[in-house]
């Protein structure tokens, strides 16, 4: 069991460090709004993994992925939500290109946004289905308990990596914002990230 969890933790660490939609999203929020915003976003994204772990443990994820129409509907809904977030950044306080001033969201708002983004990304569901079963250390044992142990391990490792990203990029953000044009660039970076993740979700 210990050897399996260590292998799983290392694999999770590699995945968390590798550029992907979640850590890039944390990076964009931290650069645009600071370290605390990045941590709040991270907490939301990781909290959503509890739901994905539960769906996996009780077989719901497998049922959803076996229904092409339902799965595609989730993908479209998730992509539309992300495009809506991009639109909100674009329209906040006028045009980004003119002001670059987007109202800073509260930690609670960013947490909720992170949770929703995680839950509306069906590719996370597919990832859990493909990744977790390979690390079950006792196929004949209590699978639900094993999935939850793996899920908690995944959340701890991912939270640590994403928090480091938030802290480092948040520190850089304070330096960048001393330049007058940087906030405009950071706001457009957020928009590009939202649109990019939406496209990522829709790609088969």
CB atoms within 10 A of CB 181: 9
d(CA 40, CA 58): 28
pLDDT values of the chain reduced to their tens digit, one per residue, 204 residues: 888 899 989 988 988 887 777 888 888 888 878 889 899 999 999 999 999 999 888 887 677 667 788 777 877 877 887 788 788 777 764 443 333 444 567 889 899 989 998 888 877 888 888 788 878 888 677 888 888 999 999 999 999 999 999 998 887 776 666 666 666 666 777 788 778 877 877 886
Domain assignment of residue 14, yes or no: no
Domain assignment of residue 174, yes or no: yes
| Domain interval for residue 110 | 2-9+23-202
| Segment (H or E) for 72 | helix 68-91
d(CA 62, CA 55): 8
Total domains, the chain: 1
Domain assignment of residue 16, yes or no: no
Domain assignment of residue 15, yes or no: no
Cα dihedral 78, 84, 85, 87, rounded to 10, equals 150
Tokens for 190, please give them: 């957020």
pTM for the predicted model, two decimal places = 0.74
């Amino acid at each position: 069991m210990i050897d399996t969890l260590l292998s799983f933790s290392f694999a999770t660490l590699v995945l968390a460090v590798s550029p992907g939609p979640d850590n890039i999203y944390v990076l964009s929020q931290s650069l645009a709004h600071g370290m605390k915003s990045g941590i709040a976003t991270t907490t939301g994204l990781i909290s959503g993994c509890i739901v994905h772990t539960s769906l996996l443990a009780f077989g719901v994820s497998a049922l959803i992925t076996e229904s092409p129409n339902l799965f595609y509907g989730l993908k479209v809904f998730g992509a539309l939500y992300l495009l809506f977030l991009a639109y909100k950044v674009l329209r906040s306080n006028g045009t980004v290109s003119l002001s670059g001033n987007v109202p800073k969201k509260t930690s609670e708002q960013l947490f909720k946004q992170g949770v929703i983004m995680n839950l509306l990304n069906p590719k996370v569901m597919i990832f859990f289905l493909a990744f977790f079963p390979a690390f079950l250390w006792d196929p004949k044992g209590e699978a639900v308990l094993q999935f939850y142990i793996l899920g908690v391990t995944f959340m701890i490792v991912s939270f640590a990596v994403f928090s480091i990203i938030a802290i480092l990029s948040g520190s850089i953000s304070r330096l960048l914002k001393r330049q007058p044009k940087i906030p405009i660039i950071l706001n457009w970076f957020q928009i590009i990230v939202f649109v990019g993740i939406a496209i990522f979700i829709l790609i088969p």
